[in-house]
Amino acid sequence: DVKVTQSSRYLVKRTGEKVFLECVQDMDHENMFWYRQDPGLGLRLIYFSYDVKMKEKGDIPEGYSVSREKKERFSLILESASTNQTSMYLCASTQGAPNEKLFFGSGTQLSVL
Amino acid sequence: DQQVKQNSPSLSVQEGRISILNCDYTNSMFDYFLWYKKYPAEGPTFLISISSIKDKNEDGRFTVFLNKSAKHLSLHIVPSQPGDSAVYFCAASAYTNAGKSTFGDGTTLTVKP
């Protein structure tokens, strides 16, 4: 089975801190995605990547950046955390064919105080 | 503009009865639709999908129906079981968008014993 691993289940950070969320997948998937989940808003796409060192903005990229130095690893960076970035962050991956199902990690619940 | 909508935030049904979860979309470019199930503290997992060339897809107790003219799809669970209690997300993607999925807000299903 595909495994998508997010390094932290829970994180508590202070406003203004730089935050790194790490995601690793073990199935050689081409595509990786970062979503955030908020009550009443569903899952919203922050950034995605179709290849190493490649990134594209999703629907809500403001305040975030990403890094994909290796195929299996996709990092989400909050340059200066703010309280409105308190959320559940979900990483996902797919092989690369269009319309494939997403494989998700367990999520990181980030609280910014 | 929300392109995928799940208008019912919650649904409660009795064990053994049918659960019907609904989803509407606005973007006519969507050609593939997926349902994901999410338990608390876990990432979403793929449940069932349907291509726009079909109007029905069945997998065990789960059936998805697609009405393209109405831009509407529904997920039927028969019979419902307490273990089906979860949040269900509808998602849509377009072949031309290389699998980038747009999600609805989710519907929380509670199946009562």
Which domains, ranges and CATH numbers included, belong to chain A? Answer: 4-112 (2.60.40.10)
Chain A nearest-CA residue for B94: A99
Asked if the Cβ–Cβ distance from A99 to B9 is below 8 Å, we say: no
φ/ψ of residue B95, rounded to 5: -55, -40
**What percent of chain B has pLDDT above 70?**
96
The per-residue pLDDT of chain B, averaged, comes to: 93
Q: What is the pLDDT of residue B73?
A: 96
More confident residue, B35 or B101: B35
A61-65, A71-75, A100-104, B44-48, range with the lowest pLDDT: A100-104
Strands B10-14 and B107-112: parallel
How is chain B split into domains, by residue range? 4-112
Under the banding of pLDDT at 50, 70 and 90, the label for residue A35 is: very high
φ/ψ of residue B33, rounded to 5: -130, 140
Q: Which fold has domain B4-112?
A: Immunoglobulin-like (2.60.40)
List CB contacts (< 8 A) between A50 and chain B: 98
Whether the Cβ atoms of residue A25 and residue A93 lie closer than 8 Å to each other: yes
* Residue A100 pLDDT > 90: no
Distance CA A52, CA A61 (A): 19
Mean pLDDT of A66-94: 95
Q: Nearest CA of chain A to the CA of B94: how many Å?
A: 7
Q: Which of A28, A40, A46, A30 is nearest to A108 (CA)?
A: A46
User: C-alpha B76: how far from its chain's center?
Assistant: 9
Tell whether B36 is within 8 A of chain A (Cβ). yes
Tell whether B53 is within 8 A of chain A (Cβ). no
Best to test chain B binding among A1, A102, A106 (most B CBs inside 10 Å) = A102
More confident residue, B98 or A14: A14
Q: What is the pLDDT of residue A86?
A: 97
